[in-house]
Amino acid sequence: MGSTNSEVKMIEYKLSDEVISTIAKQLQMAILTGTDIIDNLRVVRVVESESTKGSLVLSPEYRQIAEDQVEKLMEQAYGVGGAAGMDSQGE
């Protein structure tokens, strides 16, 4: 006979606040850069939390990539808007 769903134990995971925050940031970056949100979300990497079973957190490698992306975007934003803002104040 075939197997039934009751024979397969599925593990449920929930997204940590960190992952949810990253999804929100990726949406914001997609809007700001004009890129497709799907492309931004494809690079997100998660692992199961060692401290909270059943919870997914950002992988250490992705966390560093995400921090670098935000830093680069901020540098670009301040490079364009920041210099103009300083000129208008006479600094």
Q: Write out pLDDT tens, residues 65-77.
A: 988 988 887 888 7
CB-side neighbour CA atoms (13 Å) of 14: 4
- Note whether 56 and 20 are within 8 A (CB): no
Contact partners, residue 51, CB within 8 Å, separation at least 6:
none
Predicted local confidence at residue 85, as pLDDT: 46
Beta strands in the chain (DSSP E): 14-15, 46-48, 55-58
Comparison of pLDDT for 81 and 15, the residue scoring more? 15
Predicted local confidence at residue 55, as pLDDT: 97
Predicted TM-score (pTM) of the model is 0.69
Domain range annotation of the chain: 12-88
52 to each of 9, 47, 48, 49, 78, how far by Cα in Å? 20, 11, 8, 5, 38
Average pLDDT, the chain: 83
